[in-house]
Structure 1
């Protein structure tokens, strides 16, 4: 599968490694331009390339948004995202890292309004980047959970498959609104390494 990654920070960087290792074709961009990523994509191997943001979106069947929330208005034209599966890994922090209250909406619902022709799946936003880097397991037993939420069942199924391929267990938290609320910073499942059993128990205890 062609996976485009917008952002080469902690999440984008580590996700690119994992997806490339799983055999996917990767294109990645950042705000500094493709030349700044030459060494990184060389390290990933022949199935990775550095492109402009627009080229990354055109390349990808699946697009991972791993840029700061405050930079989302700099995304390429919304039409380029038409019929793409967009994984929103962003969290709504300000430039000085203060949490932005979007209630009654969620950050991914705001992304869905910005990219109305895309299929948005909230995922990869609740896991600390070091856990993402080191926590994947080759066997199914006691895998750590990556939560996901969305309104399109087919898009969620594809993202779930990608999560499994990199050594984690997908756990669906529901719709983009309800699941998105559960996955916001500060929630009882945010930034806590959990197995499937532990995660289900924690979710069952929520009001």
Structure 2
């Protein structure tokens, strides 16, 4: 499976690096393939290729969006996703670690509006990048859960497969509108860790009787 990453910062790199180690073919999607962010990622993993964004989308099976949310509209609107899966790893965060869209709509639903001919799946947002770098909690006999939301079942199956690569159990929470609640879980994690000093090396688990 070939994966394109729009955004290769902490979150994008953690996902891309681990998925490349699992045998996935990684392409960094950037319109300046000599930018420092691209070169920095390639210095850390020389197997990463880089292409202009639309070219990367054209050859990818799944595209990851891991950019600051405020740039998403400008990045996405000119692009043709050809009905492919777009994994939304972004979060609209406002002042005081509040929901950047006043909880009226999820960021993922806005991403779907801007990338009309994609199938958006919300994933990889309920934790910080530290748990995307390493999802192993060897003291416990359960995998950490990765909650997802989306409107297309086939796209969610693709993301679930990648979750397994990364060591997560997938919990499908429903349609894309459920992303609003996942984004609030993000805010909970961020407030605990980034604002209140809790260590970042913890996740949620799904226990079923």
> Shorter-chain TM-score: which interval?
0.7 to 0.9
The 5-angstrom pairing of residues 9-88 of structure 1 reads 9-30=9-30, 33-35=32-34, 36=36, 37-38=38-39, 40-41=41-42, 43-46=44-47, 48-88=48-88
Measure the CA separation in 2 of the matches of 1:189 and 1:38: 33
Give the match for residue 181 of structure 1: 180
> Which residue of 2 is the match for residue 194 of structure 1?
204
Q: Deviations over 1:61-87 (max 9, x none)?
A: 100000011001231555521211000
Contact 2:3 2:24 in 1 (8 A): yes
TM-score, normalized by length of structure 1? 0.82
RMSD over aligned Cα atoms: 2.8
* TM-score, normalised by the number of residues in structure 2: 0.81
How far residue 170 of structure 1 moved from its aligned partner, in angstroms, is: 1.1
Task: Report the Cα distance in structure 2 between the residues aligned to 1:101 and 1:39, rounded to whole angstroms.
Answer: 32
- Structure 1 residues without counterparts, runs of 5 or longer: 202-207
Shift of 1:98: 5.5
CA contact (8 A) 1:4 1:27 kept: yes
Identify unmatched segments of 5+ residues in structure 2: 191-201
Question: Does 2:113 correspond to 1:113?
Answer: yes
Moved beyond 6 Å, runs of 4+: none
In structure 2, the residue matched to 1:204 is none
Report the count of equivalent residues: 195
Task: Give the distance between the partners of 1:43 and 1:100, measured in 2 at CA.
Answer: 32
**Distance change in 2, residues 1:5/1:187 (3 Å):** closer
